[in-house]
């Protein structure tokens, strides 16, 4: 473990302070590339315009025509939180904009697999739909789109995943319209926008198109998304049409839960969603999920989305039916929302239990691949017939975190007639583009990958069980070629020492109110401290008494039991925990140099 400190451009930090930004925040923002107060403006007026998103104008025309002709629309969702929130945004938004018949289908992870498949297209047709809309999937669904078109359906693909590579060239499905910032020729700057964000932008463009057609007696056709009143729920206007800002809590939730990079545009979407939740403008399902998770909506944070609300929705897609999650986000009945939120909470508890057993087994299997005095291999692949395919992604992430290696975890396919296939989910480390690595494996070993796709840091694939060893060796070979010693050393980038004067509950609350996440890391500090005492609590956590710059401080290192030396350099986050009605500050240990 190596701990580094981010560079802080002093002029940028000073300039931010001069505009009234708190000195601590100024330092943190400057270290993350922010140099002006304007960059911190989270107003909706500063969102990237929908017009820069390739295909969005054509999508608006297709949907406006469908609404005018009273066609039946069916959304094909994905079974994760991004897909669920994108589906809910699509259904709520389309209904707000006049669609009379909007339904959805969400694939089953085990039975259907990922994305728009030919059988799902048939189910959409059988449901009586005229238009098929994908959310958070579809960019690589060649067969599913072709089947839908052959059945006479119009197809609109909205997605954010990278297009497929076929023989080294990008290939797109033959849909009527594709909206995806990562398709060739798209100039939309936020390539990291989540699937739910793409659907929200489609709705913004649709509203503008309806406005130009006079659907709202429009006189302000050039106003794409006027700034809403802070905290006010969506209303309808004869001039501009329905306000769509009430959808922003859903957009924010899906964006954070999908762990996409929080660039400026994504941060604005998340900030706007959080603002509405904090003043009580949120749908019944989100409110109930906050209660079920033991979190407080009036002080909602991006952390809540990523580690409390999102996992409860994701659990439905992993172990049960994502219909539960989508229905929770769609209902306006508080009692029904409470019931669904409690169900999702129960499923999430099952997921944690299942994950715990799989995680420990995966650790044992991975550690058997190398001797105690050796470094782990450059890539890790494990498979056990008892693994559940709904949890392999989480376990791969835990394995990657523990060993700092690109990691794949495989489970036997539960689909009928495909028990000879293995479904794997992988997570990567900086410097190793996982989807590109899979593409190289496919070129070098034709046929070893039946299907694959994903991003730089997360990807999935399907292989034959008999070719597991071949895949493992091939991925390790690519990792050995692409990764050097520096890349294979776990590094935590921190914000350096923290002034004891900043160890105040009100300042920690100030930090929590900001939007942090992937690509805009939450504050993590580091410095050498004295370890006064340490003891194991709850079987696998280390409780610490520390001396920080001469002052006593409590610390907790979750998931670790290694005893620390008397003086040690720590990377830690600040937490203001409540106990018996009193809030105290604690260091949450993120890493220990040399351990």
Please state, in angstroms and rounded to a whole number, the distance separating the CA atoms of residues 79 and 136. Answer: 9
Does the pLDDT at position 238 exceed 80? no
The distance in angstroms from the start CA to the end CA of the chain is: 6
- Residues 265-286: what's their mean pLDDT? 97
Report pLDDT for 218. 44
**pLDDT, tens digit (0-9, with 9 covering 90-100), for 536-549:** 998 889 999 999 99
pLDDT of residue 235: 47
Residue 77 and residue 89 in contact, taking contact as beta carbons nearer than 8 Å: no
Is residue 234 over pLDDT 60?
A: no
Q: Write out the two tokens for 344.
A: 């999702």
Q: What distance in Å separates the CA atoms of residue 380 and residue 399, rounded to the nearest whole number?
A: 8
pLDDT for position 111: 85
Q: Mind listing the pLDDT tens digit for each residue in 443-453? A: 999 999 999 98
Task: Compare 233 and 65 and report the one with higher pLDDT.
Answer: 65
pLDDT of residue 232: 42
Q: Is the confidence at residue 263, as pLDDT, over 80?
A: yes
Percentage of the chain exceeding pLDDT 70: 96
pLDDT digits (tens, 9 = 90+) for 350-400: 999 999 999 999 999 999 999 988 999 999 999 999 999 999 999 999 999
Mean of the pLDDT values across residues 328-345? 98
Give the model's pLDDT for residue 248.
98
State the average pLDDT over residues 409-431. 88
In this prediction, residue 113 has a pLDDT band, given cuts at 50, 70 and 90, of confident
Name beta bridge partners: 587: 555, 574
Handedness of CA 380, 383, 386, 388 (dihedral sign): positive
Each residue's pLDDT tens digit, 460-511: 999 999 999 999 999 999 999 999 999 999 999 999 999 999 999 999 999 9
Say what the pLDDT of residue 141 is: 96
Determine the Cα–Cα distance for residues 524 and 587; give it in Å rounded to an integer: 10
**Domain boundaries defined on the chain:** 2-40+491-592, 56-243, 369-482
If residue 105 lies in a helix (H) or strand (E), which one and from where to where? strand 102-105
User: At 577, is the pLDDT very low, low, confident or very high (cuts 50, 70, 90)?
Assistant: confident
Only one residue has tokens 């046929």, namely 447
Question: 543 near 537, Cβ under 8 Å?
Answer: yes
> Which of helix, strand or coil describes residue 29?
helix
Q: Is it true that domain 369-482 has CATH number 3.30.43.10?
A: no
Q: What distance in Å separates the CA atoms of residue 12 and residue 577, rounded to the nearest whole number?
A: 32
> Is residue 139 helix, strand or coil?
coil
Q: Over range 125-140, report the average pLDDT.
A: 97
262 has pLDDT over 50: yes
Q: What is the mean pLDDT of residues 562-571?
A: 96
CATH topology of domain 2-40+491-592: OB fold (Dihydrolipoamide Acetyltransferase, E2P) (2.40.50)
Would you say residue 594 has pLDDT above 80? no
Fold of 56-243: inorganic pyrophosphatase (n-terminal core) (3.90.1640)
**How many percent of the chain have pLDDT more than 90?**
88
- pLDDT confidence band for 581 (50 / 70 / 90): confident
Read off the pLDDT of residues 181-200 as tens digits, 9 standing for 90 and up. 999 999 999 999 999 999 99
| Contact present, 84 and 199 (Cβ < 8 Å) | no
Q: Which of 18-22, 312-316, 346-350, 413-417 has the lowest mean pLDDT?
A: 413-417
With beta carbons less than 8 A apart as the criterion, state whether 35 and 7 touch.
Answer: no
């Amino acid at each position: 473990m190596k701990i580094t400190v981010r560079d802080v451009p002093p002029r940028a930090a000073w300039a931010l302070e001069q505009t009234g930004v708190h000195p601590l925040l100024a330092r943190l923002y400057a270290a993350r590339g922010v140099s002006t107060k304007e960059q911190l403006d989270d107003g909706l007026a500063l969102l990237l315009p929908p017009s820069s998103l390739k295909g969005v104008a054509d999508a608006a025309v297709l949907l406006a025509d469908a609404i005018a002709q009273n066609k039946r629309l069916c959304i094909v969702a994905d079974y994760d939180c991004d897909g669920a929130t994108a589906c809910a945004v699509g259904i709520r938004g389309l209904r707000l904009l006049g669609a009379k018949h909007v339904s959805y289908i969400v694939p089953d992870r085990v039975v259907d697999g990922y994305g728009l498949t030919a059988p799902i297209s048939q189910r959409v047709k059988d449901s009586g739909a005229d238009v098929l809309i994908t959310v958070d999937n579809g960019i690589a669904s060649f067969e599913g789109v072709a089947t839908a078109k052959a059945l006479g359906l119009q197809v609109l693909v909205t997605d954010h995943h990278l297009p497929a590579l076929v023989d080294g060239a990008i290939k797109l499905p033959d849909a009527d319209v594709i909206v995806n910032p990562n398709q060739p020729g798209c100039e939309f700057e936020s390539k990291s926008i989540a699937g739910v964000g793409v659907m929200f932008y489609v709705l913004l463009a649709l509203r503008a198109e309806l406005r130009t057609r006079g659907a709202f007696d429009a006189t302000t056709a050039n106003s794409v998304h006027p700034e809403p009143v802070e905290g006010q729920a969506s209303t309808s206007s004869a001039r501009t049409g329905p306000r769509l800002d009430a959808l922003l809590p859903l957009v924010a939730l899906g964006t954070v839960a999908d762990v996409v990079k929080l660039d400026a545009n994504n941060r604005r979407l998340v900030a706007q969603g959080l603002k509405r939740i904090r003043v009580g403008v949120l749908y019944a399902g989100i409110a109930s999920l906050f209660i079920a998770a033991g979190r407080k909506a009036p002080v909602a944070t991006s952390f809540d989305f990523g580690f409390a609300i999102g996992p409860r929705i994701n659990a439905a897609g992993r172990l049960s039916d994502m219909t539960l999650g989508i229905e929770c986000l769609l209902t306006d009945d508080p009692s029904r929302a409470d019931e669904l939120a409690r169900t999702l909470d129960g499923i999430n508890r099952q997921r944690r239990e299942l994950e715990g057993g799989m995680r420990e087994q995966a650790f044992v299997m991975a550690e058997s691949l190398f001797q105690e005095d050796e470094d782990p291999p450059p890539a890790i692949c494990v498979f056990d017939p008892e693994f559940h395919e709904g949890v392999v992604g989480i376990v791969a992430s835990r394995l990657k975190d523990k060993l700092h290696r690109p990691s794949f975890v495989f489970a036997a396919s539960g689909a009928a007639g495909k028990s000879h296939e293995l479904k794997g989910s992988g997570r990567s480390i900086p410097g190793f583009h996982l989807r590109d690595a899979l593409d190289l494996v496919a070129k070098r070993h034709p046929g070893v990958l039946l299907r694959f796709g994903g991003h730089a840091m997360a990807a999935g694939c399907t292989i034959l069980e008999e070719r597991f060893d071949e895949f493992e060796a091939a991925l390790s070979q690519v990792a050995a070629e692409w990764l050097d010693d520096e890349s294979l050393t776990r590094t935590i980038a921190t914000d350096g020492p923290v002034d004891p004067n900043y160890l105040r509950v009100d300042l920690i609350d100030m930090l929590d109110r900001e939007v942090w996440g992937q690509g805009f890391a939450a504050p993590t500090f580091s410095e050498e401290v004295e370890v006064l005492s340490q003891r194991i609590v709850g079987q696998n956590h280390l409780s610490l008494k520390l001396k920080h710059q001469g002052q006593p401080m409590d610390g907790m290192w979750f998931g670790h039991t290694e005893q620390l030396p008397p003086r040690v350099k720590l990377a830690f986050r600040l937490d203001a925990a409540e106990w018996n009605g009193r809030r105290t500050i604690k260091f949450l240990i993120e890493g220990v140099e040399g351990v």
